[in-house]
Amino acid sequence: MNPFFDSNCYRPNFDSSPQGFYTFADYGSSPQPHGFTQLSQDEVVPETQPTTNAGPSTQPKQKRRHRRKLAADTEPAVGGSSRIEKWTTEEEFQLTKAWIDVSEDLIVGRNQKGPDFWSKIRNQFFQAMGRGEYRTNDMLSSKWRDMNLKVRKFNGIYSQKWQTRRSGQSDAMIERKAEEQYREEFNAHFSLQRNSGNNNYINTTPKFQGNFWPYGISYFDPPTGRFSDGRIIPDFIAEYAGLPLIPTYLDPQNTEFVYGANFASGGAGVFAETDAGFVVDLRTQLKYLDDLEKQFRQNLGDSKTDQLLSDAVYLFSCGGNDYFSQVSNNGSIVYPYTHQQYVGMVIGNLTHVFKKIHEKGGRKIGINTLPPLGCWPSIRAGRPDNTCNYEIDVITSLHNRKLSEKLQQLEKQLDGFMYSLFDLNTEARKRMKNPSKYGLKIGDSACCGSGPFGGIDSCGGKMGTEFDLCDNISDYFFFDSNHCTEVVYRQFAELYWNGGESNVTAPYDLKTLFRGRRSPAALRKEAM
């Protein structure tokens, strides 16, 4: 099995030679003008073709109007008439931890009166949450009973799956099957894993977070931070690879990363100046990998660490925010460079990171082309005539061409270097222009947001305003003004994994990279 660097952690089993899966940069886009400084530059030849404009809007005429829920809007508390906030994933985790700690205390234990027992749990819970006493003992005990009931239900399903497991099924596969059956039987999501986003653990704003309703509405309850209604590409890739969700690196509760780590930060770019102060830039994410390597060498030794880093797949989604951040209020691109120079700097910084990973022993890179950002709802909504921005399309086309050329060069220059380049641009265009061919109905408008095409970034009330939410999310290509729905991310992940037709993923698909320790020559021969 191979490690993969993005979602949730799992207990290591070194005998099975885990392969890591590590995801970097951004799985979200947040257009916002910022300056930047030059970091590094590659030579870029100016040549590109503008893309065609999207056709007439097919946006629905009616949506449900919502406003963001504040503390005063939340559900009634158990055991009283006051209203209190809904439980978050962090609260559920800290309540469970407090119950276990108090129960296993040799002096205190569980053989004590109920009020005293729950008072001790309550004290530890509030200390961990770092805020005032906003829940009563009855609220905590009621929540615990509810959680315990769900755990018992899931445990019954998991035990049955374990007893009837087939040869070759990993713990992660069995756990995922149990989660699917739980969802079918009880119409609710259950997961043993913590998989929230890195932006939940930095000082940022709601603009760069997706940890509130209706994000996650189709799969995660409560929301985790993913900028979608459910799972995104790395979640499905982990599933196809037989891995659990990959753990968030900045979550202090995550300490095991041999199956992978998620360094990604929504809104991040290759430049430190892109959305500076609100996200974790790519260079900092690379430093996190440095720190993780040191941890591996200390805990696993050099030999196992070298093998782990060599077998790992490193997934990137990068560059879009570096271009988005240069869009001015009138929709034009503002920077003191030619487009060729700026694209060269973006590709140059990506190349720097690829080479640093190669120096560590990493050999397998997965990355996608930039989508047609010029026709994104957030861009069209900000233009007087609501048309696509041709200038952005020219830049993204140049980026995609230069990225492909650079990867081909690196394959020749770096020993053992392999890559999977997924043509996200082409696949996105197909679905935006002809949604019905791919099981969709709306290809140019966001399910969640406001304004023309749902392009005002107000989903969940993040702008302090009302927003619209569609009734049938799976009909849409876009969930919010910049991100896709789960059903679309699944389609992309399948093409990324299997390759599909017309070399949509080349020169290798991700499944080939995850096969193991075969040489590049052998893998290329098998893929032909």
CATH number, domain with residue 387: 3.40.50.1110
pLDDT at residue 56 tops 80: no
Same domain assignment for residues 143 and 240: no
Residue 99 is assigned to a structural domain of this protein: yes
Residues 166 and 315 in one domain: no
Residue % of the chain over a pLDDT of 70: 76
Q: Which of 7, 480, 481, 509 is catalytic?
A: 480
Q: Are residues 153 and 294 in the same domain?
A: no
354 and 442 co-located in one domain: yes
Q: What is the pLDDT of residues 423-448, one digit of tens each?
A: 999 999 999 999 999 999 999 999 99
- What's the 3-state SS for 126-170? HHHHCCCCCCCHHHHHHHHHHHHHHHHHHHHHHHHHHHCCCCCCC
For 387-483, list the strands marked E by DSSP: 418-422, 442-446, 448-449, 467-469, 476-478
Q: Which helix (H) or strand (E) holds 24?
A: strand 21-25
User: Which region among 212-221, 302-311, 326-335, 383-392 has the lowest average model confidence (pLDDT)?
Assistant: 326-335
> Is 247 found in the same domain as 342?
yes
Rounded-to-integer distance, Cα 310 and Cα 411, Å: 16
Domain identity same for 178 and 216: no
Whether 191 is catalytic: yes
Assess whether 304 and 400 both reside in one domain: yes
Instruction: Please state, in angstroms and rounded to a whole number, the distance separating the CA atoms of residues 269 and 318.
Output: 6
Distances 109 to 95, 115, 229, 381 between C-alpha atoms, Å? 16, 13, 42, 59
DSSP state of 471: S
**What are 128-171's pLDDT values in tens digits?**
888 777 888 888 888 888 888 888 887 788 788 878 888 767 66
483 is catalytic: yes
Mean pLDDT, range 272-286, rounded to an integer:
94
Question: 329 and 477 share a domain?
Answer: yes
pLDDT recorded at residue 13: 25
Q: What are the helix and strand counts (H, E) for the chain?
A: 15, 12
Query: The whole model's pTM is what?
Result: 0.74
Asked if residue 371 and residue 223 are part of one domain, the reply reads yes
Pairwise CA distance, residues 290 & 46, whole Å = 35
Q: Is residue 69 part of a domain?
A: no
| Domain end marker among 146, 169, 186 | 186
Q: How many domains does the chain have?
A: 2
Record the tokens describing residue 328, joined without a space.
Answer: 């001015």
3-state secondary structure of 450: strand
Least confident of 84-93, 267-276, 463-472: 84-93
Q: Is residue 204 part of a domain?
A: no
Distance of CA 354 to the CA centre of its chain: 20
What is the model's pLDDT at position 75? 41
The answer to whether the beta carbons of residues 172 and 260 sit under 8 Å apart is no
- What single DSSP character describes residue 76? B
Query: Looking up tokens 């149990």, which residue turns up?
Result: 178
- On whether the CB atoms of residues 281 and 270 are closer than 8 A, the answer is yes
Domain boundary among 128, 153, 186: 186
Exactly one of 29, 141, 191, 196 is catalytic; which is it?
191
How far is the first Cα of the chain from the last one, in angstroms, to the nearest whole number?
23
Determine whether 480 is an active site residue: yes
Q: CB neighbours of 290 closer than 8 A, spacing ≥ 6?
A: none
Catalytic residue chosen out of the listed positions 196, 423, 483, 509: 483
Q: Check whether residue 271 and residue 384 sit in a common domain.
A: yes
**75 inside domain:** no
Quote the domain boundaries for residue 282.
21-28+211-517
Please give the residue that has the higher pLDDT: either 509 or 92.
509
Tell whether 172 and 234 lie within a shared domain: no
Do 130 and 249 lie in a common domain?
Answer: no
